[in-house]
């Protein structure tokens, strides 16, 4: 499909279906959705008038099931390869076709796919196939299609070397390898050319070429149906990844990206992903990002920018902490010591507001009140003394203590082996400060500074002057965020013909929607969270901007059905959509009303999780609505990211009622603005 045609397709008002590739099920897939299944799914979508298919990230994550924890931004995940379609299998021994079929049958009955079992079984069979065809594949690498493909995809060298070394080191992170933890481009080139490992490197190259071919054919089939394929490009990359290993200069490895504390995560979230060194990337004219977009453009006409706020500013946490409570926004115009002095703070007061102070009795009380069973005063005294001597330094003769210089964060406190009550007390005290001095004489307010011990001791006048100073720094910092966000997103826009769609959820600075609108980047509107103010009335569907993607649910939320039955203010929502009442228990009638109202939003794209669309028919309801979720944030369980369709695409495509109901959605015109 020509780029101009791609752009035209993505400029239309469309209904879309959101589905993880792994969720697809067909008569040929081996327990998990595979790239060729996308072509069959596209045919089904075309019958229903669906004009867009949105998928989750499909990059290689190794044995980590989260698609947002990639080992690379270039290589595709072997999980999605259809083994039976490999040329070596089709033209080779019937034995491999039989083994591929046995693999399919082994996992066909699974309600959710067992990620690691399926992947290990596939990789084992792929190793067999490669071993049996090694000489022929080596020949193709020298003077055939594989050699040409490798020349067109130079990232394969870093990836293949990294994957081999990762397997050699028992799948450990590169930071734990016995050798080659730090490498140069010359080192990687030498490792790639080492004849002893040529066969192993070609295995990974052969595998990636096959994945590229299969995904490319599926993308062409989707385009032939007139459907836009939207990919998902997470802004962040796993610390244990080929890209970070080969290009550490592009990242600040000492910091972890995350999110500040909120009502759902009182300690904030530290995701473990390093933040970008934008200055270093700028020196290369953002070559890594440009190459990443070009690689994605082979398949997609549109793409979702996960956590677009990170291009403006990102919550960055010290890796010495487990929590994100003492994180800070990067970039941020720091507060200087001189500014604090101008507020009337001498060195002692600056220490008071920037370093945690612990009263003696606080440790004793924590042990007495949270011992967890019977205890004696001598036992309490022994544990208290252990905590004081290991972690704290007394301030003169006061009953007040500071942390020792050797304590750099929560991880150091945890390593002391203290009683859980004492450890919890010290961790809470560590976070209890107004300001974080993240480098000498550079301060930023902590997220919860108003609840700190030090803030409570300020006079009303001091609080007023401090708030005025912080407001000025916030305003000045937002100017920097706007400038950075506009520059970086402009680079993305000019580097690809794909239509960018931003995931702009969370505490969104005012500059973000301005930049997105200026660059014609579609924002995201999740109906249940799209309100005029926090806890306020819902934004009317007709007021959604045209430059937006409207959806009823996302992969990290409950489905529309579960939301309706277990979370929603049902009567309040009925009043919002102008419907007298709906049954409390979700059924196709409720689904029809809610989805049709959502489909009438003024947004350019109205996209629905496949589960929500399937609920338009009574045939596809699971007994427990929670079982239909894709992911439960904040949990690490085999359940996450393993959702499968309740039946094969072919079987679901026979459901005439479903096809009619979805087709009706596709024909809905946008709601008209109400007359005032």
38-83 pLDDT, tens digit per residue, is 999 999 999 999 999 999 999 999 999 999 999 999 999 999 999 9
The answer, yes or no, to whether residue 399 has pLDDT greater than 90, is yes
Gap between the Cα atoms of 498 and 299, Å rounded: 10
Question: What residues contact 151, with CB distance under 8 A and at least 6 apart?
Answer: none
Is residue 672 very low, low, confident or very high in pLDDT (cuts 50, 70, 90)? confident
Q: What is the mean pLDDT of the chain?
A: 95
pLDDT tens string 134-147: 999 999 999 899 99
What was the pLDDT predicted at 372?
A: 83
Taking each helix axis from N to C end, the angle separating 198-224 and 134-143, rounded to the nearest 10 degrees, works out to 70
317 forms bridges with which residues in the sheet? 256
Q: Please check the confidence at residue 375 and state whether its pLDDT lies above 90.
A: no
Residue 1, pLDDT above cutoff 60: no
Asked if residue 7 has pLDDT above 70, the reply is no
Euclidean distance between CA atoms 70 and 601, whole angstroms: 34
**Residues 549 and 603 sit within 8 Å (Cβ to Cβ):** yes
Give pLDDT, residue 2: 39
Residue 382 in this model has a pLDDT that exceeds 60:
yes
Q: What is the pLDDT of residues 555-569, one digit of tens each?
A: 999 999 999 999 999
pLDDT of residue 286: 98
What was the pLDDT predicted at 3? Answer: 45
What would the pLDDT profile of 145-164 be if each residue is shown by its tens digit?
999 999 999 999 999 999 99
Q: Which two structure tokens, joined as six digits, stand for 447? A: 């997220």
The pTM of the full predicted model, rounded to 2 decimals, is 0.94
pLDDT of the residue at 8? 58
Say what the pLDDT of residue 494 is.
96
The pLDDT, as a whole number, for residue 205 is 98
Average pLDDT score over residue span 634-663: 95
Q: CA nearest 208: which of 254, 242, 168?
A: 242
How many other CB atoms sit within 10 Å of the CB of residue 634? 9
- Asked whether residue 495 carries a pLDDT value surpassing 70, the answer given is yes
pLDDT tens track for 524-555: 999 999 998 888 899 999 999 999 999 999 99
> What's the pLDDT band for 675 if we cut at 50, 70, 90?
low
Token couple for 79: 């999980």
pLDDT digits (tens, 9 = 90+) for 186-206: 999 999 999 999 999 999 999
Indicate if the pLDDT at residue 4 is higher than 70. Answer: no
Residue 324 · residue 317 · CB < 8 Å: yes
Sign of the C-alpha dihedral, residues 486, 489, 493, 495? positive
Task: Say if residues 11 and 600 touch (Cβ distance below 8 Å).
Answer: no
Model pLDDT for residues 400-425, shown as the tens digit of each residue? 999 999 999 999 999 999 999 999 99
| Residues in contact with 58: Cβ distance below 8 Å, sequence separation at least 6, in sequence order | 21, 67, 76, 77, 80, 215, 231
Give me the pLDDT at residue 304, please. Answer: 97
Q: Could you read off the pLDDT of 235-272 as tens digits, one per residue?
A: 999 999 999 999 999 999 999 999 999 887 899 999 99
Paired sense of beta strands 52-54 and 14-18, if any = parallel
Q: Residue 140 is inside which H or E element, if any?
A: helix 134-143
What's the burial of 567, exposed, middle or buried (CB within 10 Å: 0-12/13-18/19+)? exposed
């Amino acid at each position: 499909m020509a780029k101009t045609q791609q752009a035209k397709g993505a400029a239309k008002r469309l209904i879309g279906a959101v589905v993880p590739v792994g969720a697809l099920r067909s008569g040929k897939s081996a327990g998990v959705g595979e790239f060729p299944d996308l072509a069959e799914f596209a045919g089904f979508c075309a019958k229903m008038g669906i004009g867009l298919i949105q998928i989750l990230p499909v990059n290689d994550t190794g044995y980590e099931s989260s698609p947002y924890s990639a080992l690379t931004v270039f290589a595709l995940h072997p999980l999605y390869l259809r083994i039976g379609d490999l040329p070596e299998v089709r033209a080779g021994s019937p034995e491999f076709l039989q083994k591929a079929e046995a693999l399919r049958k082994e996992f066909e009955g699974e309600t959710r796919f067992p990620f690691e079992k399926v992947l290990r079984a596939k990789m084992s069979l792929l190793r067999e196939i490669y071993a049996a065809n090694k000489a022929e594949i080596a020949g193709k690498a020298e003077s055939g299609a594989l050699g040409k493909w490798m020349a067109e995809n130079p990232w394969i060298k870093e990836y293949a070397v990294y994957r081999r070394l990762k397997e050699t080191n028992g799948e450990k992170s590169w930071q734990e390898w016995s050798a080659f933890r730090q490498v140069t481009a010359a080192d990687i080139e030498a490792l790639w050319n080492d004849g002893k490992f040529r066969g192993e490197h070609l295995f990974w190259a052969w595998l990636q070429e096959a994945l590229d071919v299969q995904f490319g054919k599926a993308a062409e089939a989707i385009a032939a149906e007139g459907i836009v394929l939207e990919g998902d490009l997470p802004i962040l990359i796993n610390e244990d990844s080929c890209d970070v290993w080969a290009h550490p200069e592009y990242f600040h490895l000492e910091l972890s990206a995350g999110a500040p504390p909120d009502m759902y995560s009182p300690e904030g979230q530290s995701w473990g992903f390093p933040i970008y060194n934008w200055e270093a990337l700028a020196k290369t004219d953002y070559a890594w990002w440009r190459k990443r977009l070009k690689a994605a453009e082979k398949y997609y006409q549109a793409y979702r920018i996960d956590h677009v706020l990170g291009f403006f500013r990102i919550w960055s946490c010290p890796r010495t902490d487990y929590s994100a409570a003492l994180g800070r926004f990067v970039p941020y115009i720091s507060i200087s010591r001189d500014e604090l002095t101008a507020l009337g703070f001498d060195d002692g007061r600056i220490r008071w507001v920037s370093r945690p102070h612990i009263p003696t009795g606080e440790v004793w009380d924590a042990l007495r009140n949270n011992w967890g069973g019977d205890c004696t005063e001598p036992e309490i005294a022994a544990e208290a003394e252990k905590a004081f001597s290991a972690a704290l330094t007394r301030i003169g003769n006061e009953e007040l203590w500071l942390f020792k210089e050797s304590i750099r964060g929560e991880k150091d406190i945890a390593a002391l082996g203290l009683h859980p009550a004492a450890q919890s007390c010290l961790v809470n005290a560590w976070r209890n400060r107004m300001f974080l001095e993240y480098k000498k004489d550079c301060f930023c307010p902590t997220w919860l500074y108003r609840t700190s011990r030090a803030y409570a001791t300020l006079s009303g006048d001091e609080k007023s002057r401090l708030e005025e100073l912080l407001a000025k720094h916030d305003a000045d910092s937002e100017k920097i965020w706007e400038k950075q966000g506009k520059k970086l997103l402009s680079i993305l826009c000019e580097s690809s013909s794909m239509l960018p769609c931003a995931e702009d959820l969370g505490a969104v600075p005012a500059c973000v929607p301005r930049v997105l609108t200026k660059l014609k980047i579609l924002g995201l509107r999740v109906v249940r969270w799209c309100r005029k103010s926090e806890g306020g009335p819902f934004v009317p569907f007709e007021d959604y901007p045209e430059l937006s993607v409207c959806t009823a649910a996302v992969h990290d939320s409950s489905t529309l059905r579960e939301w309706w039955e277990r979370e929603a203010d049902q009567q309040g929502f009925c009043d919002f959509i102008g419907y007298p009442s709906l049954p409390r228990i979700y059924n196709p009638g409720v689904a029809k009303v809610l989805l049709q109202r959502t489909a009438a939003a003024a947004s350019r794209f109205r996209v629905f999780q496949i589960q929500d669309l399937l609920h338009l028919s009574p045939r596809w309801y699971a007994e427990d609505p929670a079982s239909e979720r894709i992911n439960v944030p904040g949990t690490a369980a085999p359940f996450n990211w393993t959702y499968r369709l309740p039946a094969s695409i072919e079987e679901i495509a026979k459901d005439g009622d479903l096809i009619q109901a979805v087709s009706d959605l596709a024909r809905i015109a946008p709601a008209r603005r109400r007359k005032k």
